[in-house]
Structure 1
Amino acid sequence: MHGYSKDVYQGEARKMKPVLDHIGIAVPALEPALEFYGATLGLGEPIIRLIPELGLRLAFFDNPDGPIIELVEASGKTELRHGDVVVALEVEDLDAAIAQYRARGLKVHDQPATENLPLRRGWITKGAGHGTVVELCPKGAVAAFVRGTRG
């Protein structure tokens, strides 16, 4: 717990209270993965978003009854490898979450919005996240982007 007493840690956890927003899965190519996740697993038709400025092709399987599943094909600079999972947490206040995780000694990147991905997000790297990338997302922002009600 990075030097925090149990009471302090639990108090901060209650204040932050992140919840699962979506899961991202790194794939080497979208098309075969779309067949598997969409047809074979029955997740349906994906919503495709192209983010050329970041070298990303994204496919979102929207589920109104649960978290969104995102497939990530990356051709740009990334630490993601085939099969890696990104755990995306929804936070009430992105600035506060980034500050609190940094205060706990974590390396958190502040990812600005881009032209095709108009969402500012935070990232905890695989090294700091015990082998998993953790994405910090403002409440409701990813769902709005996927559903076309933002950006």
Structure 2
Amino acid sequence: MDYELDHIGIAVRSIEEALPFYLDVLKGSLEDRYTSDVPGVEVHVAVVQTNGQTIELLEPTNRNSPIARFIRQKGKGVHHVAYRVDDLDKAILDAGEKGIRFLEDTLRTNARGRRLIYLNPASTEGTLFELCSYPQD
């Protein structure tokens, strides 16, 4: 199973305030914007590409969303690191056999067709990781 860095999710209070840094300073390009109103997600997303690398800016849409809670607890900044896998179900099984736990309620398909799940940070020395796969994979 190959694990390829897919994107880094960054929690921000305001995408509009954060974008100038990513577009003007880092010379990125805004590739996509969308909102997820799925319960337990509730986030605005801006996808920025910089030299082939992807950053997702994550702005909470309500004060009880996971991103809003993250910002209250830890402040703005890196929320998660996502790795693309060829077969998400197999990656979950393989990691589970190695004792890795998942945040089971996060298994879903997002608004852009990406299947994903988050690993329990207790299994990763405190870092939130996402495993994901895409329909064309």
TM-score, length-scaled by structure 2: 0.76
Cα deviation code 1:32-90 (max 9, x no counterpart) = 11122112322133421111222111010135x52211111134135633212411111
Contact 1:24 1:72 in 2 (8 A): yes
Which residue of structure 2 lines up, in the alignment, with residue 90 of structure 1? Answer: 84
Amino acid at match of 2:102: V
Residue in 2 that maps onto 1:58: 45
Letter in 2 for 1:131: G
Alpha-carbon distance change, 77 to 85 in structure 1, aligned in 2, over 3 angstroms:
closer
Question: Superposition pairs for residues 92-111 of structure 1, below 5 Å?
Answer: 92-110=86-104, 111=107
* Count of residue correspondences: 124
1:126 matches 2:116: no
Q: In structure 1, what is the equivalent of residue 53 of structure 2?
A: 67
Asked if structure 1 preserves the Cα contact closer than 8 Å seen for 2:10 and 2:80, the reply is yes
Give 3-state SS (helix, strand or coil) of 1:31's partner.
helix
Where does the alignment leave 5 or more consecutive residues of structure 1 unmatched?
1-15, 145-151
Unpaired runs of 5+ in structure 2? none
Partner of 1:112: 108
- Structure showing greater Rg: 1
Question: Counterpart of 2:43 in structure 1: which amino acid?
Answer: L
Among 32, 53, 75, which residue is 1:47 paired with? 32
TM-score, structure 1 length as denominator? 0.70
Give the direction of change, closer, same or farther, for the CA distance of 1:109–1:117 in structure 2 (3 Å limit): farther
For 1:32, the equivalent position in structure 2 comes to 17
- The structure whose residues are more often strand, as a share, is 2
Distance 1:109 1:120, change over 3 A: farther
Counterparts of 1:109 and 1:19, CA distance in 2? 21
- Taking only the aligned residue pairs, the percentage that are identical comes to 30
- In 2, the alpha carbon distance for the partners of 1:122 and 1:109 equals 7
Query: Match of 2:7, SS?
Result: strand
